[in-house]
Amino acid sequence: MKALIVDDKAENLYLLELILKDAGFTSVSAKNGVEALKILEQEAVDIVVADILMPIMDGFTLCREMKKSKTLYQIPFIFYTATYTDPKDEEFALSLGADRFLLKPKEPDEFVQIIKEVLKESETKKIPPPIEVKESEKYLLKEYNEALVRKLEDKMLQAEQAEKEVRKYNIALLKEIDERNKISDALQTSEIKYRSFFENSMDAILLTSPDGKIHAANPAACKMFGFSEEEFVVLGREDIVDTHDPRLAPLLKERERRGKVRGELTMIRRDGTRFTAEISTSIFSTPEGYSRTSMIIRDITDRKEAEEALNKSIKRYENLTNISPVGIFHTDAEGSTTFVNPRWCEISGMQAENAMGYGWLDAVHPEDKDKLQNGWKSSTEAQSVSFSDYRFIRPNGEIAWVIGQAVPETNSEGDIIGYIGTITDITARKKAETEITMLANALRCIKECVSITDLDNIIIFVNESFLETYGYTKEELIGKHMSLFRPSDIESNFGKTILDSTIKGGWTGELLNKKKDGSIFPVHLSTSVIKDKAGKIVGLIGVATDITQAKKAQQELIDAKEKAELSDRLKTEFLAQVSHEIRTPLNAVINLSSLVKEETSEIESEDLDIAFYGIESAGKRLIRTVDAILNMSELQLGAYQTSKIKINLCDLLKRLTAESRNLAKSKNLTIKFKTNCENDLIQSDDYALSQIFSHLIDNALKYTEKGGIEISVLKNESNKISVVVSDTGIGIAEEYLPDLFKAFTQEEQGYGRRFEGNGLGLALVKKYCDIINADIEVQSKKQEGTTFTITLN
């Protein structure tokens, strides 16, 4: 964008051109309205900024001529004046068609912003083409003349005022001449003082121009940079200042804006080494009117190194506090918290910002607050170290025990300026102490005799029960060796055997111990090691129980058991003997009855048939009972000898099924056999297998009144053979199942029972299963039936 600036003062033109250039505008200038119109005829511009009071053609006339022109009337026009300040002047200027009427001076940013606003408005503003109207010309001429008259009147007043000022000035001039003489004397004195300061200053001082040229250098500057003063005056800023230092440009700009500035820059010595310096520089004018700058330079390399060392130290301190395993805090002299580290926050469960001041007390357990505050008050009054243990309550309700300690922080005069302290989380230790106390109380209270020794078996602890049992006092035992309790007739290395076993993991057993009174008694002893947190063995513990009464009771049980076993063996032998004695004549009775039956077969008599059937069935029942008793006796006495051979299980079960079919038919029951492993052979005892399944099938037939019996052979997932015997009989009550395999028991007892039997069948089945390593399971429901499953292992 191009702007035309019209002003008769060169400095005003220069200033406006500079402002517009910084804002990105190009510009042309004219010293009056005539020059401006000539430029407008030759060049296109986007906006005109004009003063009013100018020779040849003033601003009012220029604006009127442009607004009359058919080619120039649309160009935005701004008046910028310091002379015409009357509101009527602004009203007249705007009536000529001007877009703004601005009074000098304006801040550069504000001035540029107004230019941009006027240009933006002109894009949409529709200005009608000029129309020549005589009356309007007369009106404008009248307004223009009035404005000139106002200005002339102002000038007259200004002239009168100026005359008064001249008179005052003449008087003041005489006084000033006198003052100048005094000032001259003072300047000479000041020059002497300045030269002394300049020459003797410990800081480097340079006198320069704003453009960077060096005019003078003091001895300190020559020493600092390595140049003589004669060499300095031919050097420029770029020879002693690192021009790549990013701080340089902002510092120069700030000096230009404020006239003075302080900062830091990287400087260059004669040998090319660089150093950081603190710069204090200002702009001033010489009596001759030249702009000069002073530069006071101080080498702050040592200070910077100290600051860097301090920063590193602070960083190390921050790192240490951040990774410290203990909580760290800092307070002012009154105890108000100013800092806590992350570990403090972790232990207390409180955010750092909430702990500041006295907020940290909110995390302290209510029961500990008074104690803690009183202790802190006492320590601060005494200016001593504060030490206490207390509890925090975390937001989740957890309790954290801590030990807190703080030491005074003093200044160089010895006055306390604050406190720095730590808190250590001792929650685990408190918990351990509680557990140890509980354990110690428990050890004291338990009835067993507890002793703890070191690795050399020297006693360091015994409980009350130990003292009562052995008859000693604690003072008599602490520090003594455990061999004190060993009877004299026990081998001396037996104690070492127990000690070695204990260290390797533990020893358990029975042995004889000796009391203080010399009496010997049996104890059951269990020993183990005690380890520290690192797993190192630090001691041994033994728990002994006086088993005198237990041994006596045990012996009585052994005696009773032997008597019971003897009685049971005698009973078994008696039953076997009686059964054997009954079996022989019983067989004779059955055989003779068969012979009589044959001899009387020609006699037709229903009574005889009934009699012979009764003799036969009663005889067979007695034979079965006798066989069962003999078998049970043989098993109980351990006289049964197993004989394992290869057996076709299906053939055996088919035979037993066939033998039972007539009995099943006589009761209108079905009996079925099925298998999925027809020809599999097993290695087992044939007689035991026959007895197992014979008794199971007999029981099923006996207790089933309708339905039937099914015998199944199958293989399970483990390829083991199972035999399942199921019936639809009366079932077994659930409460009787635990006694199902006991000898001589039946669910129905007494003379009123419905089914005959001796209660040995299932007892024999269980014992034969144990002999051949077979598992037996039973499932039964009353009035629905029973299922026995034999799994052969």
Q: What is the pLDDT of residues 549-600, one digit of tens each?
A: 888 888 888 888 877 666 566 555 655 555 555 666 766 666 777 777 777 7
Report the pLDDT value the prediction gives residue 490, as an integer from 0 to 100. 77
Percent of the chain with pLDDT over 90: 40
Residue 147 has pLDDT above 80, yes or no: no
User: Which run of H or of E encompasses 402?
Assistant: strand 399-410
Closest CA to 225 of 293, 263, 272: 272
Pairing of strands 681-685, 644-648: antiparallel
Report the pLDDT value the prediction gives residue 560, as an integer from 0 to 100. 81
Q: Looking only at Cα atoms, what is the longest distance across the chain?
A: 193
CA distance 197 to 188: 14
Residue scoring higher pLDDT (556 or 679): 556
User: How far apart, in Å, are the Cα atoms of 175 and each of 171, 180, 310, 466?
Assistant: 7, 9, 59, 119
Closest CA to 76 of 114, 110, 41: 114
- Is 446-546 CATH 3.90.930.60? no
Residue 135 has pLDDT above 50, yes or no: no
Q: Which CATH number fits domain 201-299: 3.90.79.10, 3.40.50.300, 3.30.450.20, 3.30.70.20?
A: 3.30.450.20
Report the pLDDT value the prediction gives residue 756, as an integer from 0 to 100. 64
CA distance 11 to 7: 9
Report the pLDDT value the prediction gives residue 306, as an integer from 0 to 100. 81
Report the pLDDT value the prediction gives residue 555, as an integer from 0 to 100. 84
The stretch 187-198 carries a mean pLDDT of 64
pLDDT tens sequence across 384-418: 888 889 999 999 999 999 999 998 888 888 888 88
Report the pLDDT value the prediction gives residue 531, as an integer from 0 to 100. 87
Contact criterion met (CB below 8 Å) for 657 and 711? yes
Given pLDDT bands bounded at 50, 70 and 90, which one contains residue 742? confident
Residue 400 phi/psi, 5-degree rounding, is -120, 120
Q: Which CATH architecture has domain 2-131?
A: 3-Layer(aba) Sandwich (3.40)
Three-state DSSP class for 375? helix
The stretch 345-363 carries a mean pLDDT of 92
306-430 matches 446-546 in fold: yes
Domain residue spans of the chain: 2-131, 201-299, 306-430, 446-546, 553-620, 642-792
User: How far apart, in Å, are the Cα atoms of 752 and each of 700, 706, 761?
Assistant: 21, 22, 20
CA distance 369 to 393: 12
Please give the full DSSP string across 215-258, using - where no structure is assigned: EEE-HHHHHHHS--HHHHTT--HHHHB-TT-TTHHHHHHHHHHH
Place of tokens 């076709």: 648
The stretch 514-518 carries a mean pLDDT of 93
Q: Which CATH class is domain 642-792?
A: alpha beta
User: Which of 245-259, 356-370, 753-767 is predicted least confidently?
Assistant: 753-767
Three-state DSSP class for 127? coil
Question: In this structure, what token pair is assigned to residue 629?
Answer: 């008793």
Report the pLDDT value the prediction gives residue 7, as an integer from 0 to 100. 93
What is the amino acid identity at position 474? K
Contact criterion met (CB below 8 Å) for 338 and 354? no
CA distance 225 to 240: 8
CA distance 447 to 439: 14
DSSP symbol at 325: S
Closest CA to 400 of 432, 436, 365, 435: 365
Contact criterion met (CB below 8 Å) for 198 and 218? yes
User: How far apart, in Å, are the Cα atoms of 611 and each of 508, 592, 596, 597, 663?
Assistant: 71, 13, 11, 10, 20
Closest CA to 275 of 245, 254, 230: 245
User: Which of 60-74, 144-158, 505-519, 690-704 is predicted least confidently?
Assistant: 144-158
Residue 776, C-beta contacts closer than 8 angstroms, at least 6 positions apart: 765, 766, 769, 788, 789, 790, 791
Report the pLDDT value the prediction gives residue 789, as an integer from 0 to 100. 94
Question: In this structure, what token pair is assigned to residue 201?
Answer: 């200053």
Place of tokens 């394992």: 644
Residue 676 has pLDDT above 70, yes or no: yes
User: Which run of H or of E encompasses 265?
Assistant: strand 260-268
Given pLDDT bands bounded at 50, 70 and 90, which one contains residue 383? confident
Residue 205 phi/psi, 5-degree rounding, is -125, 130
Report the pLDDT value the prediction gives residue 202, as an integer from 0 to 100. 87
**∠321-325-328 over CA atoms, to 5°?**
45
**∠276-281-285 over CA atoms, to 5°?**
155
Q: Which numeric CATH code is attached to 306-430?
A: 3.30.450.20
What is the amino acid identity at position 247? R
Report the pLDDT value the prediction gives residue 31, as an integer from 0 to 100. 93
DSSP symbol at 471: T
Please give the full DSSP string across 606-619, using - where no structure is assigned: HHHHHHHHHHHHHH
Report the pLDDT value the prediction gives residue 246, as an integer from 0 to 100. 94
Residue 89 has pLDDT above 50, yes or no: yes
pTM: 0.34
Report the pLDDT value the prediction gives residue 148, as an integer from 0 to 100. 54
Contact criterion met (CB below 8 Å) for 451 and 544? yes
Residue 313 has pLDDT above 80, yes or no: no
pLDDT tens sequence across 201-222: 889 999 988 888 998 899 999 9
Residue scoring higher pLDDT (170 or 82): 82
User: Which of 360-369, 440-449, 517-526 is predicted least confidently?
Assistant: 440-449
Report the pLDDT value the prediction gives residue 619, as an integer from 0 to 100. 63
Closest CA to 708 of 661, 643, 645: 661
Given pLDDT bands bounded at 50, 70 and 90, which one contains residue 752? very low
Given pLDDT bands bounded at 50, 70 and 90, which one contains residue 166? very low
